Homo-oligomer: A and B are copies of this chain.
Amino acid sequence: MKLGELGEFGLISRIDAASSRGIGVLKGIGDDAAVTILTPGMQLLTSTDMLLEDVHFCRSWHDPYRLGRKSLAVNISDIAAMGGIPRWALLSLAIPADISIDFLDEFTRGFLAMADEYGVSLVGGDTCASHDSLAISVTIMGEQFADRILRRSGAMADDDIWVTGTLGDAALGLKLLERGLDFAQPPERYLSGVEGNDFLISRLLDPTPRVSAGLTLTEAGLVTAMIDISDGLLADFGHIAEQSGVGGSIRLDHLPLSSPFRSLASHLSADLQFLALSGGEDYELCFTAPPDNRKKIADCMKKCGIEATPVGIVTHSPGVVAVKTDGSPCNTQTNGFIHFTHLLP
């Protein structure tokens, strides 16, 4: 069957039939608006992200199942970064003529698998035909008690700067895809590196939102500010610094790097280390906390099965610098992914 035969309402019914109703959902897909109820006493958290073909993803790299997962994951990550509980999502799709129903079914399967893993209910959206490429717009809603919501603005001088997981994997995965995996040459390297390559690429195509880490940290009251790392640590910690009226010093040699990243980076240009600082799409959490909380944070993270690493110090003076082992500043021109720069003359 073609999408044209299925029609808009056929497509919506197909998505609706595949989705399940979760906490707080009184009316999901099928009315003018979804009707949901918040947990008494909690505040509403809302965020939205657009994913555009050939800007945020390429169909030649991104299988529809993992594209569906990622479309929701990057949104859930914003709720995680507030210390929130993700609850409900809206999904809008602008669909070009060359997209098949199989593609949409796989996309939906991935989206709903991610939703189930994080207790999110798909409660509405919009579908329309596009003359151009595929565009995906997702809105996520979550909730949390007022005193547990973590903003960007609470960092204090002398706090530690922390990150969860490892950095730069997704950015290196992107380089692998862009160059058709030929980084991994010569052949023996390619063969021995296949597993690692898959890991790096998977970190790009199927990121994991750090919901349990965010919740555990905020429930324990250990953290002063938090953000998720989508544009690179340097740029995203920069938002914390700006909104908290502080600065920061990040130790390049403290950045947590995965084995596949180290292995591939070791026989490549040293510049690749900067991918860990400003490559983007990590979807790890960056947070600040008083140095006294260091052991408690390590314990908390162990409970979640997630590594977290202190990578620097919040400073009184504004501006964010990355420093080498000897304390000398790095050249940090690459300041995260900047939209619209391709429009410059």
With a cutoff of 8 Å between Cβ atoms, the chain B residues found around residue A124 in the complex are 46-48
Known A130-B52, A227-B32; contact A4-B341, beta-carbon cutoff 8 A = yes
Binds B, one of A64-72, A78-86, A105-113, A294-302: A78-86
**Smallest distance from the beta carbon of A280 to chain B beta carbons, Å?**
13
Known A48-B139, A151-B27; contact A339-B32, beta-carbon cutoff 8 A = no
Complex Cα distance, B45 from A90, in Å, reads 12
Q: Is the CB of B142 within 8 A of A7?
A: no
- Chain A 206-245 interface mask (CB, 8 Å, partner B; 1/0): 0000000000000000000011100000000000000100
Complex Cα distance, B151 from A26, in Å, reads 11
Binds B, one of A36-44, A182-190, A265-273, A306-314: A36-44
Binds B, one of A91-99, A162-170, A319-327: A91-99
With a cutoff of 8 Å between Cβ atoms, the chain B residues found around residue A140 in the complex are 33
Q: Is the CB of A152 within 8 A of B31?
A: yes
Q: Is the CB of A339 within 8 A of B128?
A: yes
With a cutoff of 8 Å between Cβ atoms, the chain B residues found around residue A129 in the complex are 55, 339-340, 342-343
When C-beta atoms are compared, the residue in chain B nearest to A144 turns out to be B35
With a cutoff of 8 Å between Cβ atoms, the chain B residues found around residue A55 in the complex are 94, 128-131
Complex Cα distance, B94 from A128, in Å, reads 15
- Does A262 belong to the interface (CB within 8 Å)? no
Residues of chain A in range 240-277 having any CB-CB distance to chain B below 8 Å: 243
**Smallest distance from the beta carbon of A245 to chain B beta carbons, Å?**
14
- Does A88 belong to the interface (CB within 8 Å)? yes
- Does A318 belong to the interface (CB within 8 Å)? no
Interface size class on chain A is 35 or more
Q: Is the CB of B31 within 8 A of A151?
A: yes
- Does A63 belong to the interface (CB within 8 Å)? no
**Smallest distance from the beta carbon of A56 to chain B beta carbons, Å?**
7
When C-beta atoms are compared, the residue in chain B nearest to A137 turns out to be B137
When C-beta atoms are compared, the residue in chain B nearest to A136 turns out to be B137
* Residue of A47, A141, A228 ringed by the most chain B CB atoms within 10 A: A47
Q: Which of B94, B152, B340 contacts A4, CB < 8 Å? A: B340
Q: Which of B48, B81, B92, B340 contacts A7, CB < 8 Å? A: B340
**Smallest distance from the beta carbon of A45 to chain B beta carbons, Å?**
4
When C-beta atoms are compared, the residue in chain B nearest to A88 turns out to be B46
Q: Is the CB of B43 within 8 A of A35?
A: yes
- Does A193 belong to the interface (CB within 8 Å)? no
Q: Which of B8, B26, B30, B78 contacts A32, CB < 8 Å? A: B78
- Chain A 140-154 interface mask (CB, 8 Å, partner B; 1/0): 111000100101110
- Does A202 belong to the interface (CB within 8 Å)? no
When C-beta atoms are compared, the residue in chain B nearest to A40 turns out to be B40
- Starting from the known contacts A52-B131, A129-B340, 16 additional A-B residue pairs (CB-CB under 8 Å) come to A4-B342, A4-B343, A32-B82, A33-B45, A33-B78, A33-B81, A35-B43, A35-B82, A35-B149, A35-B151, A44-B141, A48-B92, A48-B125, A49-B126, A92-B137, A95-B340
